[in-house]
């Protein structure tokens, strides 16, 4: 295996675990969280997911957030 492929696979694994940990914080079990993460980084899904995420805008802070 060449070094570039190894680094790409390593990065993919890191991202998979990052997403999985994020999903688990919502109370979803580890196995399901890993499945969700795999779907999100799947070559067929990732591009569309990124395009959709780019359309999300930050919401203005609420009055409670302004006072904090």
pLDDT in tens, 47-61: 999 999 999 999 898
Half-sphere exposure of 38 (CA within 13 A, CB side): 6
Torsion angle of the four alpha carbons 28, 34, 37, 42, in this order, in degrees rounded to the nearest 10: -150
Full-model pTM: 0.74
**Domain locations in the chain as residue ranges:** 3-51
User: With 80 as the cut, is the pLDDT of residue 6 above it?
Assistant: yes
Angstrom distance (rounded) from CA 59 to CA 28: 26
State what percent of residues in the chain have pLDDT above 90.
84
């Amino acid at each position: 295996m060449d070094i570039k492929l190894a680094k790409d696979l390593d990065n993919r694994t890191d991202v998979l675990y990052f997403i999985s940990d994020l999903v688990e914080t919502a109370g979803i079990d580890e196995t399901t969280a890993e499945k969700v993460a795999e779907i999100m980084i799947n070559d067929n899904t990732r591009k569309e997911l990124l395009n959709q995420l780019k359309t999300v805008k930050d919401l203005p802070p609420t009055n409670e957030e302004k006072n904090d």
